Amino acid sequence: MNKPHPRIISLEIQSLISIVITAYREDNNIPLIYDELIQVFHSIRDRYRYEIIFVNDGSPDRTWHAIEQLCDTDTHVKGVNLSRNFGKELAITAGLELSSGDVVITLDADGQHPVDKIPDFLHEYEAGYEIVYNRRPETRDASFLKRYSSRLFYVLFNLLSEFKLEPHTTDYRLLSRDVVDAYLQFHEKNRMYRGLVDWLGFEKKALVFNAKKRIHGEATYSYRRLLSLAINNLTSFSFFPLKFVGYFGLFVTVSSVCMLFLQMLDKVGILHF
């Protein structure tokens, strides 16, 4: 693979960064991640302008209230309040649709994605990469079930799909405007953000680092919801389920015709059962 050509970042016309943050039951974490982001933007203000887009994914708590407060105090902050919980994948899409930056960075509101890595993402973007993403070493503090079910998912996905998905990657990633525009051409209801972005085929670079510990709240993805998401992702990227149904239908049809033929032979006395 050829090394991408470095970008020329103008110091006279600052590029715009859009930060898209999805939130569900994160009312206590919203102000914390905002303060951390402001510190990061202060360190790169000579090269980049910023906008922060919070997407409230139908939270039943005061998450939207926390976002509204930031919108009232900082004109760089925008908020999207979804009418109900549509899920993280569609919440990310809503934020991307509202973004106008030359470069977009997506991350979670739970504080586990270290925002002090943003300059590292931008460094790789300036080096010419269109996609920069986080790949984590295997999570040691995850439960046995979650750890091995994750392994099983990647094994099955890569076995059944022609497209190979890289394990242990996260939704903490940088996209160039070209990638965002291409991604927004998809209109599937059930989508996999990471998978679709990688499937687009742009030059990409992984940054390897661990997630931080959550400060407030608890993870909201139950095993049932994770299983549903895994099934949707497998069926979205693989023709195997469709082929299986087709072949099974053909088997049933052929078997039925054979049984009908044998019954006709038995009725006319040619064969006896």
- Give mean pLDDT, residues 109-125: 93
Please check the confidence at residue 91 and state whether its pLDDT lies above 60: yes
Please check the confidence at residue 272 and state whether its pLDDT lies above 70: no
What percentage of the chain has pLDDT greater than the value 70? 68
Length of the chain: 273
b/e burial code for range 146-183 (CB count within 10 A of at least 16 → b): eeeebeebbeebbebbeeebeeebbbbbbbbbebbebb
Q: Centre a 10 Å sphere on the Cβ of residue 85 and count the other Cβ atoms it contains.
A: 16
**1/173 Cα distance (integer angstroms):** 21
- Give mean pLDDT, residues 103-109: 95
Task: Name the residue with higher pLDDT: 162 or 78.
Answer: 78
pTM, entire model: 0.75
Nearest to 220, CA basis, from 80, 104, 11, 60: 60
Using one digit for the tens of pLDDT, what is the confidence trace for 23-80? 999 999 999 999 999 999 999 988 899 999 999 999 999 999 999 999 999 999 999 9
Q: Where does the pLDDT of residue 84 fall: very low under 50, low under 70, confident under 90, or very high at 90 and above? A: very high
DSSP3 helix / strand / coil % (the chain, rounded to 5): 45, 15, 40
Q: Centre a 10 Å sphere on the Cβ of residue 272 and count the other Cβ atoms it contains.
A: 6
Say if CB 129 and CB 203 are below 8 A apart. yes
Instruction: Indicate the DSSP class of residue 29.
Output: T
**60/27 Cα distance (integer angstroms):** 10
What is the helix (H) or strand (E) element at residue 80, kind and residue range? strand 77-81
